[in-house]
Structure 1
Amino acid sequence: MVDKRKPEQEYVVVRHRPGYRVRRTLILLTFSLLAGAIGFTVGMSQGGFRFSAVAASNEVLADELETLQDKYAETSQQLANLDRGRLIDKQALNRARTTIVELETQIASLKSDLTFYKNIMAPSETSKGLQVDSFTLASDPQPGAYDFKLTLTQVGNNKSYIAGVVAVNVIGLRDEEKEVIALRDLSQDIEDLGVKFRFRYFQDVEGLLVLPEGFEPREVQVVARAQSKKSSQAERTFDWDDLTEN
């Protein structure tokens, strides 16, 4: 027969220690708080070092920034001084150039006058007596208008006056046909076909001429004739483009 009795139950004996769990919990909590406090202290200490380093860096950067700002201000002032000096130099140079141009113009004018009087007082053998010295034109603000100046001279013998008349004609084209217009018909300053003159050394004839519409000037013809015992005549033709090229 099989013995069907249940095995005997085993029992474990545990020593009863009152308050053990409470003490262990308190110990663990104390160690946790202590570890946290130590970590916080270490962290604050390291953070203090970092804060000190950042503050020191900020001071250095602030000093460098101030130095750079001072250098920038100094350089800007130097640049302004250089620009001002360069402007002054440029202005002085322009004034000097203007003065030089004016002096050159005056010298050229004086040389021209000197040549003019030399030709009158000490002419060559082929240029004595009545001469058509020059004819000049200058543009006027009025369209088609020009200020003109004719200069007649007596070369060589200047002991006595020379008198006579001078005629000026402008030769050109109108409607593709040649046309000759007397200065009298172009200028209100001239009343006669022949302008009277009387002088010992030279005489100028000046005025304003206005070209008619559709007229294309090509030449200016000047014919001067002296009226005396020994009559003489001087002629000269001037190209219009040469007169107006300046």
Structure 2
Amino acid sequence: MKHNQVGPARFWPKVVWAGAVVAALFAGFMFGQHTRSGDQASRFEALQTRFDVTVAQMGFDMAKLTTQRDALQSQLLVEQTTRSSLETTLNAAQSDLASARERLAFYEQLLPPGPAGAVTVRAFDIEPRAGLLSYRVLLMRNGTPGSGFNGLMEFVANGVQKGKNVKITLKPAAGVGAGSAQQSQSTPLQLSFDQFQRAEGLLGLPEGFVPRSVTLNVMEGSAVRATRTVNLAAD
């Protein structure tokens, strides 16, 4: 009986071929692992980039919201300060008005307004001012609200001009009118009021005229309804 024997010449090629197959399989396995690792790394980098962009956007939005909040807080502070200032001013004005009403009531007791419809000069001040005369007037009337008084103020000055005693009716200085407590007037010296009226302004003086006294006449048509004279200090 003969036995089949594998000689070295036939054995080694099979071994080499098997080794090559194993090496190929191992290389394929390693390549697959490397490829999967590369894909995971790429996905990680993409996720990292998206995360960084999201964080940066959130930081930008947060900074914008912080700026808006600060601006709103500043605006609120300004509004609160303005409101507080207005309230303080209003309270002071109301207090001044109450004091003025009390003083007015006191003066009315000292100086009775007279019969119904009568007009009185409660205050009349006049002072020289840079070649002009500055006047302030307070008029009162005892009448039914709504009936009203319509007239005008006339200022008559006694003084000296060119060495002679003269009497002159003074006119408002150019461009200067009288202020009214109730309404503006169409002419500087016109009057139209129910119970009281304040007026102030400047009167012009003729060249070379030195006033010694000024008389205020409250006129209704051609009739004098009230009068008051103020003497001026001699130079």
One fold, TM greater than 0.5? Answer: no
Which has the greater radius of gyration? 1
TM-score normalised by the chain length of structure 1: 0.41
